[in-house]
Amino acid sequence: MQSDIHPVPRETADIETASDAYAARFTGPAGAWMLEVQAAAVSRLLGPERGLALLEVGGGHGQLAQPLVEAGHAYTVLGSDPVCRRRIADLVAAGRCRFVAGEVTALPFPDRSFDAALCIRLLTHCVRWPELVGELCRVARRTVIVEYPLHEGLHRVAPLFFGMKKKVEGNTRAWRPFRHREIVAAFEARGFREEAVVRQFFCPLVIHRMLKRRGLSERLEAAARRAGWTARTGSPAISKMVRTGG
């Protein structure tokens, strides 16, 4: 008799985000600027304390490992496959960063074993994202920092840009946008509250990639921030969630 029970597929979206092809989206001055904005936001949310034990789930892309290691933190990256280690191999070989392969929805770490858990460029590609949120909360002693695209403002029409985005990037995948309250509620259900949120860009990123002019993109985004548009409808968002209980 054949069983109707099918195995739950593993979440391996970080294999793509840890690839050279994905990193190519951020080449050039405009791409470097996008990563600088992201790293500055995460650093600001972490605060001035140094020497934190940090875990980044799906961080094989290496977008944060270098700046946060240089800031003096003890950094661990969890990848769903050993191949996710390649872009941070130099940091790992030098003993400046630790890499662990494992399930992103069943992290191989004890409860509350890191000061903060980070998850950048992964939630949007995970079908089982609530399980990922649960694991981030489980292993974090006090803080989770998570990034996600929002279905707000100009970004509400982001799906209309998908064909253009695919042409510009060449290897675009489908992604899931969220509503801000949806993310907050998922963390509140696990004993965390949102302490702060940074909305990174007013314009969809595909526009900045098409412009390929860092100076122009910086001016456009600076004007949007001054007008208050980014704070209201910017995306992707990076939220700092803090544990409410003891």
Write the pLDDT tens digit of every residue in 133-181.
999 999 999 999 999 999 876 655 555 554 554 454 555 556 789 999 9
Q: Rounded to whole angstroms, how far apart are CA atoms 156 and 150?
A: 8
Handedness of CA 140, 144, 145, 147 (dihedral sign): positive
| Second CATH level (architecture) for the domain 14-168+177-243 | 3-Layer(aba) Sandwich (3.40)
The predicted pLDDT at position 148 comes to 96
Q: Scanning the structure block, which residue is given the tokens 């526009």?
A: 207
Q: How many CB atoms lie within 10 A of CB 158?
A: 20
Write the pLDDT tens digit of every residue in 44-53.
999 999 999 9
**CA end-to-end span of the chain:** 50
- Residue pair 236/140 in contact (Cβ under 8 Å)? The answer is no
One digit per residue, the tens of pLDDT, for the chain of length 246 reads 444 555 678 899 999 999 999 999 899 999 999 999 999 999 999 999 999 999 999 999 999 999 999 999 999 999 999 999 999 999 999 999 999 999 999 999 999 999 999 999 999 999 999 999 999 999 999 999 999 999 876 655 555 554 554 454 555 556 789 999 999 999 999 999 999 999 999 998 888 988 999 999 999 999 999 999 999 999 999 999 999 976
Domain extents for the chain?
14-168+177-243
Average pLDDT, the chain: 90
Q: Rounded to whole angstroms, how far apart are CA atoms 34 and 26?
A: 7
**Which token pair is 1?**
């008799």
